[in-house]
Amino acid sequence: MRSVFVWSVCICLAACGGSDGSTGGPVDQGTQPDLMRPDSQVIADSTPGDMGFAQLEIVETMVSFGVTGVGGQERRDVGIINSGMVDLDIVEIEGLSAPFSVNRTLPARIPAGARRTFVFVFEPTDVGTFEQNVVLRTNVDGVDADLSLSGSVETTDGRLVSSEINFGIQQPGQSKSEFLLLENLSESSPITISQVSGIEAPFSVAPGQIPATAAPGERAQVLLNFSPEMDGEYRQTITIRTNAGDFEAQLIGRALAPGAIEVVRIKPAWAPIDEASRLTIYGGPFPADGVFTISVSGQPLDEVERLDETRIRGVLPAMPMAETGIVDVRVENGAAFGLLVGRFILTGPVAEGAVLDGESLAGEIGPDGNPWTLNSVLRVPMDGNLVVSAGTVIVAGESSHAIRIQGQARIGSRDGLVIFSKADRQAWSDEVGAVGGWLGLRIESGDEPINILNTVIEYAGFGGEPAVMIDGRSVVFEALTLQGNQRVGLSYDGQTAVSLVGATLADISDIALNLGDGVSIGQLSQTWTRAQIPVAAHVRSFGRLPIGAGHDWGPEHQGIHLRGSTGTMRVANQPAGVYYTIDSLDVAAVDTFSVPPTVPLKITGSLSVAGTLAITGGGRFDALGDGLVTIAPSGVLSLTATAENRLIFGPDVEQMQAPWPGLVIDGQIDGGFVTIRNGGLELNSDFGQLTGLEMDGAPNPLTINASGQLIGLSYRSDTHPIQITAGEGRITGTIEGTAERDVQFTPTDLCDLWDLAELVRDDGAALRSNCD
């Protein structure tokens, strides 16, 4: 830091010592000027005055505003100190002009001995490098100060994440919202959305969204609403005005009054017009006494039957003269009806469809070739590009067929459907000799992201393989549907982030979403699945923020299965209905794994702690099955619960019949006021004083193999006494239960080393031990 001192030596009225009535100006109390450093620049001038010495110091004579963007604003504080004996007025800043300015009204007085801060502002309106040398002039002749200002401006660059925003189908009178996203591609300047023009009802900008600014590498977002009042199809072109120029986007929405019957999907999602096809409709409710009719593009289905409350099916007859394309499905039960809009495609005969091979990649894959047929494994090379437009059906001829993408791909759009299926529309089965299904999509590492929108992938996952495999590639899924007997839905590996919104992951027997090490969560919301395990992932995938909301995983799911080594992290909370289960977790010796009890966590597997397991506050962790918490000799279980806010390990009180192994403490336990329900506890290391321990319905006993004090113990078990096998110490509290003994010493020599005088039975009977 450089400093400048400006001196003015005043000539006094009578002599250099001044007159008796000479006084300095007022001084700000408590404000001390900066000391002059050896490298300070000093400018001296001898100017007549009537009070004494005038001295002005400017801190930081070279002020840099760095790099910003057009329309941005940067501020810098400049300290100015009057170190002399007379008051000074800054009357002018000579040479100051746009894009620089100062937030200070002139003249500005600085009393003797005081310090003032001037805020200089850089507000560029053009690209370039800007420099100004300005002079601060005072009311005392010759007492001036030089100040150098500099700043530069780069070109702000951005792009719309999507130039089409589709609100889908909405009921009249209701509203749906979607984000307009603008990515900032600049290296150092912010991007700002200042206006959205051309938008009209039923579309609108949500209040308080403008302006929207994003730092380099981030996204500016503006929430848009679609609020139709009547049935119809709506489309608008809007202009997004920013400091990086104007962008255009399409807004699309359809308003349709629904019936009383919900229709959510159909399997298969396509049919050739020359073949009869058995179709299953999902939705409901379909009551047992209902009389249902199903029609596709106005054609009634034959042999309609109810399977259960959520499924009905029928046979679509061959319709050689029918018009092909995306059609609607209608279900009726008396006066009640339901519609599935834009989720089924009629195609020409399979034999008349185009062949999808390497030569086809030269152009866009569209509905004109429906159904496109894979006659081998299609490979999209690094320099290739697979573009599949809305309304397209692609079918695999054999079970070994797949699509492997190394290059670029853009599949589907928000206003139309794309289907990947099997030509015979038969699901894979692990029965001997079964030939249904196909491998699916295999997306390999690459730099360019892939968009897969409004797409159905059915009957994939032959041989138990995932229907979709992604290796180190950014893939954005919106409105994805998987159906047709998969063991694993989507599998991610490598350094990538999940982006999955509005997915239906149906007919999956094992894991819907399997995330390998290094996979993070970018966007995961509004998913539907009935898979046993909705998500299986490395624990570090969930160390920052919760996933999105709106998930429906059913009543029987096992949550997010966590595995791996935690590192030092705090596990994130999750939205309502989403919880973690432990598959197998390790906390290494140098790591701290922080888990607030507000985090929805079920201990269903092994949690091994060689470092620190920090549980802050009170609450309950569900524990069942094979759940086991082991604190290694180097490990620490750190608790901060209180008597008023206890920490509970174990099931809810209504599920006390479900035992679990419990906790094994071979290391250190700090804190207390912990309750263990339906689980055991082993204290194998000296534990100091443990206060407020409560064990309820222990299927395994409280086992003490070390020294310490248990103060205020509450122990309830009808099967096991407290087992003491080592150490010495003291136990106070109560015991309840019908076991033959309350305390078992092994060996009995330990009886004299443990003080049980204040350990009593809750029924007032004498304490029973093998020390009698």
Q: Give the tens place of pLDDT for each residue, 161-193.
A: 888 898 877 888 889 999 999 999 888 788 889
On whether both 140 and 169 belong to a single domain, the answer is no
Q: How high is the pLDDT of residue 658?
A: 76
Between the alpha carbon of residue 55 and those of residues 11, 14, 39, 137, 332, the distances in Å are: 14, 21, 17, 13, 92
Between the alpha carbon of residue 171 and those of residues 166, 175, 176, 180, the distances in Å are: 15, 8, 9, 21
Q: How high is the pLDDT of residue 553?
A: 93
Given a contact cutoff of 8 angstroms between Cβ atoms, the answer to whether 680 and 698 are in contact is yes
Residue 459 tokens read as 């009957």
- Answer whether residue 5 shows pLDDT above 70: no
Does residue 209 sit within a domain? yes
On whether both 176 and 61 belong to a single domain, the answer is no
Given a contact cutoff of 8 angstroms between Cβ atoms, the answer to whether 369 and 362 are in contact is no
- Per-residue pLDDT band for 432 (boundaries 50, 70, 90) equals low
Strand 378-380 and strand 402-405: the pairing is parallel
On whether both 387 and 324 belong to a single domain, the answer is no
CA dist., res. 434 & res. 399, Å (int): 10
The amino acid sitting at 750 is L
Q: How high is the pLDDT of residue 258?
A: 67
Q: How high is the pLDDT of residue 43?
A: 39
Residue 740 tokens read as 């033959």
CA dist., res. 186 & res. 159, Å (int): 10
Given a contact cutoff of 8 angstroms between Cβ atoms, the answer to whether 181 and 158 are in contact is no
Output Rg (C-alpha) for the chain, integer angstroms: 37
- Answer whether residue 28 shows pLDDT above 60: no
- Per-residue pLDDT band for 499 (boundaries 50, 70, 90) equals very high
Share of residues in the chain with pLDDT > 90 (%): 67
Q: How high is the pLDDT of residue 643?
A: 94
Q: What's the mean pLDDT when you consider all of the chain?
A: 88
Please give the residue range of the domain that contains residue 271.
Answer: 266-347
CA dist., res. 485 & res. 356, Å (int): 25
Any idea what the CATH number is for the domain that residue 209 is in?
Answer: 2.60.40.10
Given a contact cutoff of 8 angstroms between Cβ atoms, the answer to whether 327 and 419 are in contact is no
Enumerate the H helices of 51-194 as residue ranges: none
Picking from 230, 231, 229, 224, the residue whose alpha carbon sits closest to that of residue 166 is 224
pTM of the model: 0.67
On whether both 534 and 406 belong to a single domain, the answer is yes
Q: How high is the pLDDT of residue 52?
A: 63
Does residue 770 sit within a domain? no
Which one is predicted more confidently, 336 or 641? 641
- Answer whether residue 127 shows pLDDT above 50: yes
Q: How high is the pLDDT of residue 18?
A: 38
- Answer whether residue 29 shows pLDDT above 70: no
Q: How high is the pLDDT of residue 657?
A: 72
> In this predicted model, what pLDDT tens digit does every residue of 667-725 receive, in sequence order?
999 999 999 999 999 999 999 999 999 999 878 899 999 999 999 999 999 989 999 99
On whether both 238 and 316 belong to a single domain, the answer is no
Any idea what the CATH number is for the domain that residue 484 is in?
Answer: 2.160.20
Q: How high is the pLDDT of residue 2?
A: 40
CA dist., res. 305 & res. 638, Å (int): 59
Last residue of a domain, one of 284, 315, 347: 347
Between the alpha carbon of residue 317 and those of residues 141, 223, 587, 617, the distances in Å are: 101, 45, 60, 64
On whether both 357 and 498 belong to a single domain, the answer is yes
On whether both 241 and 170 belong to a single domain, the answer is yes
Q: Name the least confident of 253-262, 362-371, 535-544, 578-587.
A: 253-262
Share of residues in the chain with pLDDT > 70 (%): 92
On whether both 362 and 247 belong to a single domain, the answer is no
